[in-house]
């Protein structure tokens, strides 16, 4: 899942984004990757709610349904 976000990431965001884009993420299993994504999105939800709102608005409807789990 690619996110192009226009916001100021905090230190925690930067750490998690680096983890998510690290080569290591390509070899971990799906669950671990999903957990990491969920962790990051949870952080966004609590700390940068305006970002989540922008993402939800911009996601095409179909994609939003697919990925809705991440935003619960
Ligand atoms: Zn943050």
Domains of the chain, residue spans: 12-71
Measured CA to CA, the distance from residue 26 to residue 15 in angstroms comes to 17
Ligand 1 centroid to residue 29 C-alpha, Å: 25
- The per-residue pLDDT for 53 is 82
- The per-residue pLDDT for 38 is 94
Measured CA to CA, the distance from residue 57 to residue 34 in angstroms comes to 22
Ligand 1 centroid to residue 71 C-alpha, Å: 16
pTM of the model as a whole:
0.64
Could you read off the pLDDT tens digit of each residue along the chain, which spans 72 residues? 455 566 888 999 999 999 999 999 989 999 999 999 999 989 999 999 888 788 777 767 655 555 555 555
- The per-residue pLDDT for 19 is 92
Ligand 1 centroid to residue 45 C-alpha, Å: 9
């Amino acid at each position: 899942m690619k996110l192009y976000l226009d916001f100021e990431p905090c230190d925690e965001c930067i750490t998690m984004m680096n983890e998510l884009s690290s080569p290591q993420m390509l070899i971990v299993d799906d669950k671990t990757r999903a957990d990491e994504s969920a962790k990051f999105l949870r952080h966004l939800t609590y700390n940068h709610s305006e970002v989540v709102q922008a993402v939800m608005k911009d996601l095409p409807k179909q994609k939003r349904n697919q990925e809705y789990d991440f935003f619960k």
